[in-house]
Structure formats: C-alpha cells, structure tokens
Chains A and B, each alone.
Chain A
Amino acid sequence: MQDLGSAFMAAIALVRDGDAGMLAILGLSLRVSLAALGIAAVVGLPLGALLAVARFPGRRAVVVALNALMGLPPVVAGLLIYLLLSRSGPLGHWGLLFTPGAMVIAQAVLITPILAALSRGVLEALWEEYAEALRSFGAGPWRAVPTLLWDGRFALLTVLLAGFGRASAEVGAVILVGGNIEGFTRTMTTAIALETSKGDLPLALALGLVLMVIVLGVNALAQGLRDVALRRAG
C-alpha cells in the first residue's frame, strides 16, 4: 500500500516537474507506437476489407491463421525479428537492430494481424448490408474495398485504438529488438520493466500510472472525435 501511495506522489512529481528523461521516454514510446500503428493500418485494414468481401479457396484458413496471430506472444515475435535483423540475419545489412526502427517493425508485426482480423469482422457486417446494392451499381469486390473502408471509418477507429493499445502496452518484443538503451530505445514499458528489476518500485509504478493516463487520454480523445464525427456524418 505504501508503495502505491508513494508511487502516486512520484507520478505527480514526474509530471509536475516535466522530468526531461521521462518526457523523452514517453515521446519515444508514442512515436514508435504511432509509427507502428500507421504501418499496420496501411497493411492490415485493406487486408481485413479484402477478406471481408473476397471469396476464394483457403479463405477460412487465412481467417483462422489471422485470428491465431492475434495471440502471437510478443516475445516470440521479437525473437523472430531479432533473428531477421541481427548482423548475421537476412536483413542484418539494414543495421536496424537496437534502434527505434526495429521496435516499430516489431510492434507493426504484432498488431497488423489484430487490425486485419478485427476490421474483417467489422467490415463483413457492413458488406452483408451493402453487397447487393454495390453489385447493382456494378462494383466488384475490389471496388468495394475502398468503399467499405470509408463507410466503416467510425467502427475502424475503434479497431485502430485496440491496435494502439496493444502496441503501446507491449514490452517483450521492443525490449528484445530495441535493447532498452537509455536515451535511445528506452520506452515507457521497458523502463518500467527495468525499474522493477532494479527494485525501484515507486518509480516503476509512477511510470506505469503515467502510461495508463496517456493511453486513457488517447482513447478518450479518439472516442470524442468519433462521437462528434458520427453526429455530423451519421
């Protein structure tokens, strides 16, 4: 209990003083997670839309694989990307291991299946409603993909938030491929892990509180935007 109390005070102090180290860590965390979210969205959302409309042999297998990949253990994903990016690995010449770039890749790999699987579910319902009308207009499945992505934009925002939440909360993969290097690849989650193992529980908890407030804030902001847009656009 004492830990929680002092953690709370430490968290307030960290925010009040605008602790430079913490702000840098927080900034890096947000940049990495947002970049990963951007990449995953560009790949995952169209993939989800395509799976919602396309009927091809093996589609079920792809859907099952995607759903299974949603549960991919971050540490395993991190290890695979570590092997790819390590100096002797096939992508070693990129020189990305232990850089923020590697962390972006790891998080993007983790959340792309999440975005694809969740958006498939959301857009399949929309497609069910639209299919006849779009076919009546002469739109095939390929043309339907951008239509569904646009018309499902409000539901997809929630999907993006789920992806962002997973990315920003993730520690196993980024600590492996980023290395938790102070001032370079240290994120909120890896800092929390480090402070915990060093025994500085109040600092670890304080960082955790700040992280939670940030994630909550991002969600509330997105939800608010969604509500306003929904009211205006129906």
Chain B
Amino acid sequence: MLPIRAEAVSYVAGGAAILSGVSLTITPGAPMLILGPNGAGKSVLLRLLHGLLRPEAGRITPAAAIRGAMVFQRPVLLRRSVLANLRYPMALAGVPRPARVRRAEAALAEVGLSALAGRPARRLSGGEQQRLALARAAALEPEVLFLDEPCASLDPAATRAVEEIIRRIAARGTKIVMTTHDLGQARRLAGEVVFLHRGRVVECAPAEHFFAGPASVEGAAFLQGELLW
C-alpha cells in the first residue's frame, strides 16, 4: 500500500474549492500529522487519501478503492457488543475465524477494554468508544491508519490514553496519518508535519523542523496562535 502518493489533488464541494493542487507522499515511518486551522481541508484530505472521496482533479496512487483503515472524529460503533464491533470489519476483510478471535482479544487487551467485551458498544463512555474504534481499526492490521481528530471530544485523561494507544500502534510499524488542531498533541506525536491552509499544502517538513521554525508565514502565525482561518 505504501507509499501513497497524492499528485496535484483538488476537491470541490458545493462549488467551493476545498483543496487545490495538494501533493504529498506517505512513506513508512513516524506519524504524519496534518495541521491547519478549521476549514483548511484536513478532514477532506484524509478522506481522499483513505478513498472515501474521489478527487475532482489530480490522482492518488495506489488506485485502490480503500487505502488502509480509518477512525473518525465521532466513533461510528455498531449497535452490537464490543466484541462484535471488533469482529465485524475483520469478517468483511476476510480474516479467517480463528485469527479474528485471536486478534480481537489482543486488540481489546491493548486498549484496556477486555473486561467490557460483552457490553453493548454504544453504552461505553466517550473515551472507551474511541479506544474501541482504534482497536477495531488496528485489528485489521492496516499498513496505514488514518485518524481524523480522534481526541476532539475527549477529556485530557481519555486523550492521554488514546495517544498512548496511537504510539503503540505506530511502534508496531503501522503508518499513522492524523489530523488535529491540538498543537500540544501534534508536538507529542508527530514525526512529520503537513501544514494545510485554505486547501493548500503550505509546508511539509519533519516535525522538529516545523516546530523549531516554520518556513512559511502562515505556519509561524499558526504556531503562535494567530492564524485562525
């Protein structure tokens, strides 16, 4: 699956350009954080890279229907038990039954939800739901995992727990591509940064370079909390 290449990708919705001429390459390695103010096009870019949306112009390779796995800002959990939620996408992906059971148990243990395996998934707390969504995606053992603001509606403790899980998934060799508007989180997790502003990639740099001194005016303003849109 990797590298995933976006070449001059544009996306239009309702007559307005959401992304224009976006090019980037996702290679194996440390997490890629997509940063930018609200409305910069972060979520749309993630959906394009994952394959949920088709670019208006430009192309994304490899040309698979769906690339990798994805976790959404608000976890979409099936009206089933925690365990059934884990097994559902694995069954769709054609994972053999014994492996499904094994992977589901391992994933539950990793996110600390083993004791809740039989619970209805939608009765979990917000943090537990997001951990389950992460476990569900990770159990697919994707090469690349897209995370769309996974901590946006979580409290600090739940955010810490989710970040810890993300770090562990990344350490196993899964490429993380993640959007966030939380600069602290970006500093904690990022290996490389893609800075998006008004639908364009303004910067694409290793995290330490970006945070030490962004090359662009917009990037510097964003880091100082001045760039709101």
List the B residue with the shortest CB-CB distance to A154. Answer: B79
B58 on the A face (CB < 8 A): no
Which residues of B (90-134) have their CB < 8 Å from a CB of A?
92-93, 119-123
- Our pick among A143, A151, A234 for the contact of B92 (Cβ within 8 Å) is A143
* A56 sits at the interface (CB 8 A): no
Find out whether the CB atom of B93 lies under 8 angstroms from the CB atom of A137. Answer: yes
| A136 contacts chain B at the CB level, 8 A cutoff | yes
A138 near B65 with CB under 8 A, answer: yes
Question: Is the Cβ of B120 less than 8 Å from the Cβ of A136?
Answer: no
- B76: contacting residue among A133, A150, A232, CB under 8 A: A133
Checking B69, B76, B121, B123 against A129 with a beta-carbon cut-off of 8 angstroms, the contacting residue is B76
A152 to B121, CA, bound (A): 15
> Which A residues from 112 to 167 make CB contacts under 8 A with B?
129-130, 132-133, 135-139, 143, 147, 150-152, 154
Known: A136-B50, A138-B93. A234 touches B70 (CB 8 A): no
A137 cross-chain contacts in B, Cβ below 8 A: 88-89, 92-93
Contact (A132, B76) CB under 8 Å given A137-B92, A138-B92, A232-B120: yes
Closest B residue to A140 by CB, please name it.
Answer: B65
> Is B78's CB within 8 Å of the partner chain A?
yes
Residues in B neighbouring A138, C-beta threshold 8 A? 65-66, 89, 92-93
Determine whether A233 belongs to the interface, using a CB cutoff of 8 Å to chain B: yes
- Residues A234 and B66 in contact in the complex (CB < 8 Å), given A129-B76, A137-B89, A151-B80: no
Interface size class of B (residues with CB under 8 A): 20 to 34
Does B72 have its Cβ within 8 Å of any Cβ on chain A?
Answer: yes
Instruction: Report how far A234 CA is from B118 CA in the complex, Å.
Output: 11
Contact B121 A234 (CB under 8 A): yes
Cross-chain contact B69 with A136 (CB below 8 angstroms): yes
Q: Are B123 and A234 in contact (CB under 8 A)?
A: yes
Interface centre among A130, A136, A143 (most CB of B within 10 A): A136
> Interface readout for B39-70 with A: 1 if CB under 8 Å, 0 if not?
00000000000101000000000000110011
Shortest Cβ distance from A129 into B: residue: B76
B122 contact set on A, CB distance < 8 A = 234
Which residue on chain A has the smallest CB distance to residue B81?
A233
Q: Is B52's CB under 8 angstroms from A130's CB?
A: no
The answer for the CA separation of A124 and B79 in the assembled complex, in Å, is: 15
B89 CB contacts on chain A under 8 angstroms: 137-138
- Which residue of B52, B93, B120 contacts A132 across the interface (Cβ within 8 Å)? B52
Contact yes or no, A234 B79, CB < 8 A: yes
User: For the complex, what is the distance from the CA of A102 to the CA of B78, rounded to whole Å?
Assistant: 40
CA A143 to CA B69, docked complex, whole Å: 18
- Residue of A with least CB distance to B79: A151
Q: Quick one: which of B69, B70, B72, B78 contacts A151, CB cutoff 8 A?
A: B78
Smallest CB gap from B120: residue in A: A234
Tell me the A167-185 residues at the B interface (CB within 8 Å): none
Q: Which residues of B contact A143 (CB under 8 A)?
A: 92
What's the minimum C-beta distance from B182 to chain A, rounded to whole angstroms? 23
CA separation between A155 and B177, bound complex, in Å?
37
Among B81, B92, B123, point to the contact of A139 (Cβ < 8 A). B92
Q: Which residues of B contact A136 (CB under 8 A)?
A: 50, 52, 66, 69-70
Contact residues, A90-118 vs B (CB, 8 A):
none
In order of increasing CB-CB distance, the 10 nearest A-B pairs are: A234-B120, A133-B76, A137-B89, A151-B79, A234-B123, A234-B122, A136-B70, A137-B92, A233-B120, A138-B66
